[in-house]
Amino acid sequence: MKAIKYNVGVIFIGCPLLIVFASGWLATAAAWVLGLILVAHLLEFIAKREVLANAPGSMGHHFIQTMIYGLFHWRPLEQTQKADH
Which of these ranges, 6-15, 36-45, 70-79, has the smallest mean pLDDT?
6-15
Of residues 56 and 9, more confidence is placed in 56
Alpha carbons 20 and 9: distance in angstroms, whole number: 17
Q: Which domain holds residue 77?
A: 2-84
Question: How many structural domains does the chain have?
Answer: 1
Q: Identify which of 36, 31, 8, 7 has the alpha carbon closest to the alpha carbon of residue 20.
A: 31
Band the pLDDT of 19: cuts 50, 70, 90.
very high
Band the pLDDT of 85: cuts 50, 70, 90.
confident
